[in-house]
A and B are shown apart, each in its own frame.
Chain A
Amino acid sequence: MKTLITELLGRSPVAPLQEHIKTVYQCACQLPKLVRAANAGDWDTAEKIHETIASLENEADRLKFQIRSNLPKSLFMPVPRQDLLELVLVQDKIANITRDVSGIIVGRKMRFPDVIRDDHERFVDLCIQAVDQAVQSVNELDELYETGFRGAEVELVEKMIRTLDETESKTDRLQSQIRHKLFAIEDDLPPVHVMFLYIVIEKTGGIADMAERVGRRLELLLAK
């Protein structure tokens, strides 16, 4: 049944955006489990987790396209359409990188050397924590819409984004520690293996970077 009022109120992009980052988070959450299974040499489990990651990443892609197609130019919104599209793009990259990392680990049956194993597992956990904090800030979007992106709620979200930034800085520091330790032992390991260890560490750090960029995009919404 179409009436002027139903036609007038376009579908709000908030819930779909939150749904999307929730899926992205579920996807990223699998990574610590996968890394631990791989380190334990449990390749069956690792394989299964990788499949889960792949299907969640597909789901996130699907949601991303859905959001895009539901944001036509004729919509009038309190925030620029472009900013919302870029937010979902950054959110989606978290899932993409997770899938890349898990693909490399499973594909190459990669185990982390003992010297950096603990640090690396901690590093992965910390990156996922950054994603979790990004999810929390995006979950404030409906409250932000409620207040029209002004006032006390904005201060709360700004605080959340600062916490997210701090977590990301921690992952940076940990990442460089791990690199140092890896550098010290790299001559004893097969060169190609070392190459891919560096790649995986780099990419995992990228997850936290993307989480931080989710915060940056939210901040842009607040600034306007």
Chain B
Amino acid sequence: MEYQTIYLILAGIFGLFMAWGIGANDVANAMATSVGSKALTIKQAILIAAIFEFAGAVLAGGEVTSTIRKGIVDADSLAGTPELLIFGMLASLLAAGLWLLIASKKGWPVSTTHSIVGAVVGFAAVGLGMEAVHWEKVGKIVMSWVISPLTSGIIAFLIFQSVQYLILRQKDPLAKAKKWVPMYMFFTAFILTLVTIKKGLKHVGLHISNNEAYLYASVIGALVAIIGAVVIARIKPDPDKDKDFHFYTVEKVFAVLMIVTASGLAFAHGSNDVANAVGPVAAVVSTAKTGLVGSKAPLESWVLLLGGIGIVIGLATYGRRVIATVGEKITHLTPSRGFAAELAASSTIVVASATGMPISTTHTLVGAVLGVGMARGLSAINMNVVRGIFTSWLVTIPAGAALSIVFFYLFKAIFSH
């Protein structure tokens, strides 16, 4: 292949740019719920995000990456012209990255996932022909965009109801919190580990049996719960700030739990959203190196690394500011609420990651927050936002598609002769 090196370099740069955007906006949004509720400082949030995003991407990001890489575009239709796939994937990265840049400058709440899926579908449908798109798969992806916020909303509703029933409405909420919060920690660590082991690790080359999976997940869950319980036991009531039921101190107990769920959310986010940057890069890399479309070559590890690094840079440069401002504005999302939303969102997201569905993590989190609100957990929720989400769908998908079509023909004109 003629321009192999140039393709690789371009893919690296665009992928890094896209990952930077994800780190700057999406991750920041997810971590801000913890900073806003004072469960974490900004520094701690960035550190946790960096570690767990990275782990999520590497350990559980394989399925979604492969969907973006080869699930949407029909490889057979490109067998004779591998360059077209390279142009298309480069165009998609550039289009989605650019669109995200414009949107975040304007303050529009757009989804990275929708941008990249719109872009890939766009170049394939117009540049390669309608039959080059796996419409059945695209249909499933779009369905998952509706199902994921709904599911996480329902889960959040149920989790928060259980918190109300088991802890907040009791006569001794503080004692009850100390008793039940480690259970929620166990549940969080258990579910994330289980899904990762069962679905994610095969991409890293590890094969673990079902029984072993349950065993390992239980062990990790128990470890997290025990450490949590030790930390919680040290929390003493604050007579200055507490009223009769010690809710101030109860929230401090939940804040410890929120560190766990925030890590879980970062992990889940990494497992799903890193694919948006890494998937197209992986497609370019394997095609450019082998000259074959849809080759069975495994994901090269430096590609995932690139995604991880990009996210961390995005977090450190721009995401910091997003976390600070978002965190400041949502201070009344207390830990007892925030954890329910984060736990619901992260379980939904990891299941989506395991089944290879690229979903919007932000929309899933919004669904979860709405669920907590429906359980009478939040003093005021702005329902206009739901309308805003539908608008952003209607705009982002065509915008991503249109931009990527333009870039596709541009690359084709530059590199073909």
Measured CB to CB, the residues of A under 8 A from B are 1-14, 71, 74-78, 140, 143, 145-153, 156
Q: A1-B107, A9-B332, A9-B380 are in contact. List 8 more A-B contacts (CB 8 A).
A: A2-B109, A9-B381, A10-B379, A77-B379, A146-B334, A148-B168, A148-B376, A150-B169
* Binary contact track B141-179/A, C-beta < 8 Å → 1, others 0: 000000000000000000000001000111101000000
Q: For the complex, is B247 an interface residue (Cβ under 8 Å from A)?
A: yes
Question: Can you list 12 pairs linking A and B with CB atoms under 8 Å apart?
Answer: A3-B322, A4-B29, A5-B365, A7-B109, A7-B382, A7-B384, A8-B366, A10-B380, A11-B380, A12-B379, A78-B378, A143-B247
**Which of chain A's residues have a CB closer than 8 A to the CB of B377?**
78, 148
Cα A151 to Cα B171 with chains together (Å): 8
B382 is contacted by which of A10, A14, A145, A150 (Cβ under 8 Å)? Answer: A10
**Which of chain B's residues have a CB closer than 8 A to the CB of A8?**
366, 369-370, 381-382, 385
Of all chain B residues, which has the CB nearest A153?
Answer: B245
**Which of chain B's residues have a CB closer than 8 A to the CB of A4?**
29, 109, 362-363, 366, 385, 388-389
**Most chain-B CB neighbours within 10 Å: which of A8, A75, A77?**
A8
Are B170 and A152 in contact, with the CB atoms below 8 A?
yes
Cα A8 to Cα B385 with chains together (Å): 6
Q: For the complex, is B329 an interface residue (Cβ under 8 Å from A)?
A: yes
Cα A154 to Cα B29 with chains together (Å): 35
Q: For the complex, is B33 an interface residue (Cβ under 8 Å from A)?
A: yes
Task: Give chain A nearest CB distance to B205 CB in angstroms.
Answer: 37
Are B326 and A6 in contact, with the CB atoms below 8 A?
yes
Residues A146 and B333 in contact in the complex (CB < 8 Å), given A2-B109, A8-B385: no
Question: Of residues 361 to 417 in B, which have CB atoms within 8 Å of A's CB atoms?
Answer: 362-363, 365-366, 369-370, 373-385, 388-389
Q: For the complex, is B240 an interface residue (Cβ under 8 Å from A)?
A: no
Measured CB to CB, the residues of B under 8 A from A are 25, 29, 32-33, 107, 109, 164, 168-171, 173, 243-245, 247, 321-322, 325-326, 329-330, 332-334, 336, 362-363, 365-366, 369-370, 373-385, 388-389
A75 is contacted by which of B330, B362, B382 (Cβ under 8 Å)? Answer: B382
Are A74 and B389 in contact, with the CB atoms below 8 A?
no
Task: Give chain A nearest CB distance to B280 CB in angstroms.
Answer: 25
Cα A76 to Cα B379 with chains together (Å): 8
Task: Give chain B nearest CB distance to A195 CB in angstroms.
Answer: 46
Of all chain A residues, which has the CB nearest B341?
Answer: A5
Of all chain A residues, which has the CB nearest B168?
Answer: A147
**Which of chain B's residues have a CB closer than 8 A to the CB of A156?**
244-245
Residues A6 and B329 in contact in the complex (CB < 8 Å), given A1-B322, A143-B243, A148-B168: yes
Task: Give chain A nearest CB distance to B253 CB in angstroms.
Answer: 13
**Which of chain B's residues have a CB closer than 8 A to the CB of A140?**
243
**Which of chain B's residues have a CB closer than 8 A to the CB of A74?**
382-384
Task: Give chain B nearest CB distance to A157 CB in angstroms.
Answer: 10
Cα A69 to Cα B394 with chains together (Å): 31
A5 is contacted by which of B334, B362, B376, B384 (Cβ under 8 Å)? Answer: B362
Of all chain B residues, which has the CB nearest A76?
Answer: B381
Cα A11 to Cα B380 with chains together (Å): 6
Are B380 and A5 in contact, with the CB atoms below 8 A?
no
Are A77 and B380 in contact, with the CB atoms below 8 A?
yes
**Which of chain A's residues have a CB closer than 8 A to the CB of B243?**
140, 143
**Which of chain A's residues have a CB closer than 8 A to the CB of B170?**
151-152
Are B380 and A13 in contact, with the CB atoms below 8 A?
yes
Task: Give chain B nearest CB distance to A75 CB in angstroms.
Answer: 5
Are A14 and B379 in contact, with the CB atoms below 8 A?
yes
B245 is contacted by which of A6, A14, A152 (Cβ under 8 Å)? Answer: A152
Residues A9 and B329 in contact in the complex (CB < 8 Å), given A140-B243, A143-B245: yes
**Which of chain A's residues have a CB closer than 8 A to the CB of B389?**
4
**Which of chain A's residues have a CB closer than 8 A to the CB of B370?**
8
Cα A159 to Cα B107 with chains together (Å): 48
**Which of chain A's residues have a CB closer than 8 A to the CB of B171?**
152
Cα A105 to Cα B379 with chains together (Å): 42
Are A9 and B333 in contact, with the CB atoms below 8 A?
yes
Are B168 and A146 in contact, with the CB atoms below 8 A?
yes
Of all chain B residues, which has the CB nearest A140?
Answer: B243
Of all chain A residues, which has the CB nearest B380?
Answer: A10
Cα A200 to Cα B169 with chains together (Å): 44
Residues A1 and B325 in contact in the complex (CB < 8 Å), given A9-B330, A76-B373: yes
**Which of chain A's residues have a CB closer than 8 A to the CB of B169?**
147-148, 150-153
Are A10 and B245 in contact, with the CB atoms below 8 A?
no
Are B109 and A149 in contact, with the CB atoms below 8 A?
no
Task: Give chain A nearest CB distance to B293 CB in angstroms.
Answer: 37
**Which of chain A's residues have a CB closer than 8 A to the CB of B334?**
146
Of all chain A residues, which has the CB nearest B373?
Answer: A76
Task: Give chain B nearest CB distance to A94 CB in angstroms.
Answer: 23
